A and B are shown apart, each in its own frame.
Chain A
Amino acid sequence: MSANGNGHFVSLKGVSKRFDNLEVLHGIDLDVDEHSVVCLIGASGSGKSTLLRCINLLEQVDAGTIVVDGQTITDGKVDVNRLRQKIGIVFQAYNLFPHMTVLQNLTLAPRKARGASRADALDRARALLHRIGLEEKADEFPDRLSGGQQQRVAIARALAMEPKLMLLDEITSALDPQLIGEVLELVRELAESGMTMIVATHEMSFAREVANKVCFLDAGVIGEEGTPKEILSAPREERTREFLARVLEGGRL
């Protein structure tokens, strides 16, 4: 436990980010405890993705500080590659490496970025494929897999680096409805295993079930945060109510 971050595993203070004239994040404060799951909800363009991308330094913040695992990552002195090795991120578009087999997708980064031996990386990759139920796809190329399978492989690829934090960026948004379940099931298992996660999602029932905390992002600020019950069943803010009503119409609550 470090003074940095006040004991929270991830701690954001006054984080702002702008792209040219558009302020995407405006003074975000957010704490995430170890082994907890925080879900970010909010309309498209509310800043959920940018927030996640700032935490693994795919984007540089313009103001504010981010502390991860006791380390201030926004001071420009951090070893970016080392930091990213302990933060896994999964994207909406999977972003698997199409020129490599599933197994190679899982072993490349552990071997090249972390220096794991070939045998160790293979062992871990096969164990992960077993865990996600895709052992028989080890030697297939990603384009031979369904969207749901590809996204499960992308999750496994991130887990292969043994991260301490997982960032999930709307990972079911590109999937056909019938494929969403298998991916969320895997995330649920991850949560149960105690993985610290920050999850940007439109799946409200999933958030209700898995999150320890739900944050409603609205135009770059956190409009409201609390337990899933507080936010999803009894929101205090008008904006939150409006957003949830729109989602409900879309049939996703």
Chain B
Amino acid sequence: MHGLVAFDWHVIWLRVFHPNGVFARALWVTIYVSIISQVAGVALGLIAALMRMSQFPPFRWLSAIYVWIFRGTPVLVQLFFIYTAFNLPIINLGIWTIPSEALTAIVALSINEGAYMREIIRAGIDSIDKGQMEAAKSLGMSYGQAMRRIILPQAARVIIPPLGNEFNNMMKTTSLAYTIGLYELFADAEQGYSQTFLSEYFIAVAFWYLVLTTAWTFVQAWIERRLAASERADDLTFREQLIAAWNPVNAWARGAR
């Protein structure tokens, strides 16, 4: 055990200000696994939400069972099941290779995330007055056209804020993939620790997770600001819209007022 006096600031200094190539790779793995899993999770959630509203009962049952299972069991169990039951391939995209463990993590996290996103997307769609769908249909638009052009664009305002929180969670949850041997941020810290038994490695990695989630907070504020701005775009001059759209700090300040 180290007391605070024996705290090895040097390790933290090195890990924060002099990241090496191995660390950079681990950071990159965390970022792309998070982004791909979230995007795929949103897609799965949308499909499940539409199935939930289907006229065809088996679709509704399937959607209900999906959410029941994947929200009702630990993501770690899901991850290990997919890891042990399927031998997922290495994806080689020329300059970018996705290792088997990363693909396994992406598959498990996407499916898990889809179950949560289904509820968020359904709540978003439910929040839109049913007169909107009727108006679109009565103009001769198909269900798909009405969804894409009328319902989902309006539902997005309700869906985006919780979606942002889900992504914040996702970036942290990717650390679980360390347990199936994926070399991501946490694995990199654990490796440092196992060679030195210095807990400071975990402080350093916590700092890097904070960097990711804080950066995302700004991006999210920017996106939400844009959505709000488009709602009353005519209140702002073109210059103000540009500032609101391109300056996250400015957008943040406006949001705080």
Measured between beta carbons, the chain A residues less than 8 angstroms from B150 are 97
Complex CA distance for A57 and B140, rounded to whole angstroms: 11
Complex CA distance for A178 and B173, rounded to whole angstroms: 59
Question: Which of chain B's residues 132-161 have a Cβ closer than 8 Å to chain A?
Answer: 132, 134-142, 145, 149-150, 153-154
Q: How far is the CB of B151 from chain A (nearest CB, A)?
A: 10
Measured between beta carbons, the chain A residues less than 8 angstroms from B142 are 81, 113
Question: Which of chain A's residues 34-64 have a Cβ closer than 8 Å to chain B?
Answer: 56, 58
Most buried by A among B139, B141, B145: B139
Complex CA distance for A114 and B139, rounded to whole angstroms: 10
- The segment from A9-17, A67-75, A84-92, A196-204 that touches chain B is A84-92
Measured between beta carbons, the chain B residues less than 8 angstroms from A109 are 136, 139-141
Measured between beta carbons, the chain B residues less than 8 angstroms from A77 are none
**A213 lies within 8 A of chain B by Cβ:** no
**A194 lies within 8 A of chain B by Cβ:** no
Partner of B145 from A58, A112, A144 at Cβ < 8 Å: A112
Give the dominant DSSP class at B's interface.
Answer: helix
Partner of B134 from A88, A95, A140, A161 at Cβ < 8 Å: A95
Give the number of chain A interface residues (Cβ < 8 Å).
28
Most buried by B among A85, A91, A97: A97
**A226 lies within 8 A of chain B by Cβ:** no
Asked whether B138 lies within 8 Å of A58 as measured between CB atoms, the reply is yes
Complex CA distance for A104 and B92, rounded to whole angstroms: 44
Most buried by A among B138, B145, B234: B138
Complex CA distance for A157 and B141, rounded to whole angstroms: 13
Asked whether A91 lies within 8 Å of B140 as measured between CB atoms, the reply is no
Asked whether B140 lies within 8 Å of A97 as measured between CB atoms, the reply is no
Q: How far is the CB of B52 from chain A (nearest CB, A)?
A: 22
Asked whether B154 lies within 8 Å of A98 as measured between CB atoms, the reply is yes
Q: Which residue of B lies closest to A110 (CB)?
A: B139
Asked whether A91 lies within 8 Å of B135 as measured between CB atoms, the reply is yes
Measured between beta carbons, the chain B residues less than 8 angstroms from A183 are none
Complex CA distance for A7 and B123, rounded to whole angstroms: 48
Per-position 1/0 for A103-125, Cβ under 8 A of B? 00000110011100000000000
Measured between beta carbons, the chain A residues less than 8 angstroms from B231 are 99, 141
Asked whether B140 lies within 8 Å of A141 as measured between CB atoms, the reply is no
Asked whether A58 lies within 8 Å of B131 as measured between CB atoms, the reply is no
A58 and B141 in contact, given A95-B131, A141-B234 (Cβ under 8 angstroms): no
A58 and B234 in contact, given A95-B129, A97-B150, A98-B154 (Cβ under 8 angstroms): no
Complex CA distance for A157 and B139, rounded to whole angstroms: 8
Partner of A81 from B140, B149, B154, B232 at Cβ < 8 Å: B140
Partner of B135 from A81, A95, A114, A144 at Cβ < 8 Å: A95
**A232 lies within 8 A of chain B by Cβ:** no
Per-position 1/0 for A130-148, Cβ under 8 A of B? 0000000001110010000
Complex CA distance for A97 and B139, rounded to whole angstroms: 12
**A168 lies within 8 A of chain B by Cβ:** no
Measured between beta carbons, the chain A residues less than 8 angstroms from B149 are 108, 112
Measured between beta carbons, the chain B residues less than 8 angstroms from A190 are none
Complex CA distance for A97 and B150, rounded to whole angstroms: 7
Asked whether A144 lies within 8 Å of B234 as measured between CB atoms, the reply is yes
A85 and B140 in contact, given A95-B132, A140-B234 (Cβ under 8 angstroms): yes
Complex CA distance for A58 and B146, rounded to whole angstroms: 14
Complex CA distance for A157 and B136, rounded to whole angstroms: 11
Q: How far is the CB of A158 from chain B (nearest CB, A)?
A: 7
Q: Which 10 A-B pairs have the closest CB atoms?
A: A85-B140, A109-B139, A95-B135, A113-B140, A95-B131, A84-B140, A89-B138, A113-B141, A81-B140, A99-B153
